[in-house]
Amino acid sequence: MLAVVCPGQGSQTPGMLSPWLELPGTADLLDSFSAAAGTDLAQHGTTSDADTIRDTAVAQPLIVSSSLLALRAILDGRPTTDVVDVTAGHSVGELSAAAVAGALDDAGAVGLVSHRARAMAEAAAAAPSGMSAVVGGDPDEVLASIEAAGLFPANVNGGGQVVAAGDLERLAALAADPPTRARVIPLQVAGAFHTPFMESARVAFEQVATGWLATDPRLPLLSDADGASYDVLAPGSHGHGTATEVLARLVAQVTAPVRWDLCQATLAERGVTGILELAPGGVLTGLAKRALKGVESVAVKSPDDVEAARDLIARHSVASGAEASA
């Protein structure tokens, strides 16, 4: 069984779209994403420096665009329903996953995330804040230390990683006095996402998202809130949940913790044997190697990884009729 997962903010790097633009048709697709986002994603993905693409308003549409460009290159015209058995995305990656599941079209996902990004950038500018990964240590002690420091557990990622978020001085204090056997690593993001610091962004995003064009998911899509799939969340619906519920959860996600640990637990419960992480890949497959031992994974970072991704699909996708390997 194949899971396609989509990375979140902080995974972007300068020039990451340059190799993708060498593929036929990719430049036209990226142009449509730029039009939807209202910004030049080709420039940001090829020549903009690290500080420029760290800007939330740039980073989020850039990451979603990168994931969807990679997806279309890998599938080469095949519909996702013929290939993907389940999908999920970390934080902003959940909008990419919504496109994988067919709840949003590709340009629609990029357009919607651009509104999210601008709202979150404005909220971050209004009250300086940040995020730091806390790696290692006893999970209960880590959560207690984050709370004692006056911070929020914005991402509970599993595999020995929790992301603390909040006031910059409090993050510095946590780094100076970390939990036992834990390291505190500042992340390249501009604000305390998935915490009450983003309430103004949630309100602004809700005004846009509520009326956004969306359709019911066409394959299993997991929610960052609790790892549950939308077919479980909306049992009265046909198939895989409703567009209304997807949009509502995307809005709530702006101030709610990302429970990637629970998403990984659901993947294990569903019997996933292969994980394909779309570009700019690496972080989620790294977490999976610790939390989902024995599950084969491929992280797509450039077009050089496309053939490995297709091979993973051929051997693990139940939707495509492949025999899932143990």
Q: Is 133 exposed, middle or buried, given 0-12, 13-18 or 19+ CB atoms closer than 10 A?
A: middle
Tokens 């329903």 correspond to: 81
CATH of 129-186, one of 3.40.50.720, 3.30.70.250, 3.30.70.60, 2.102.10.10: 3.30.70.250
- What kind of fold does domain 2-125+196-316 have according to CATH? Malonyl-Coenzyme A Acyl Carrier Protein; domain 2 (3.40.366)
pLDDT value, residue 234: 65
Where are any strands of DSSP class E within the chain?
Answer: 2-6, 86-89, 130-136, 152-158, 161-166, 182-186, 274-277, 296-299
What is the C-alpha to C-alpha distance for residues 80 and 20, in angstroms, rounded to an integer? 20
Q: What is the pTM of this model?
A: 0.94
Among residues 91, 114, 223, 297, the one annotated as catalytic is: 91
List, for residues 142-193, the tens digit of each pLDDT value: 999 999 999 999 999 998 899 999 999 999 999 999 999 999 999 878 899 9
What is the C-alpha to C-alpha distance for residues 13 and 262, in angstroms, rounded to an integer? 27
Q: Tell me the angle at which helices 283-291 and 260-269 cross, rounded to the nearest 10 degrees.
A: 60
State the Rg of the chain over Cα. Answer: 18
All residue ranges of the chain with pLDDT < 70 are 234-238, 323-326
Among residues 44, 90, 115, 194, the one annotated as catalytic is: 194
Closest of 165, 235, 156 to residue 193, by C-alpha:
165
Positions of CATH 3.30.70.250 in the chain: 129-186
Q: Is 325 a catalytic residue?
A: no
Positions of CATH 3.40.366.10 in the chain: 2-125+196-316
Q: Is 194 a catalytic residue?
A: yes
**What are the φ/ψ torsions at residue 120 (nearest 5 degrees)?**
-70, -35
Q: Which amino acid is at 248?
A: A
List, for residues 267-277, the tens digit of each pLDDT value: 999 999 999 99
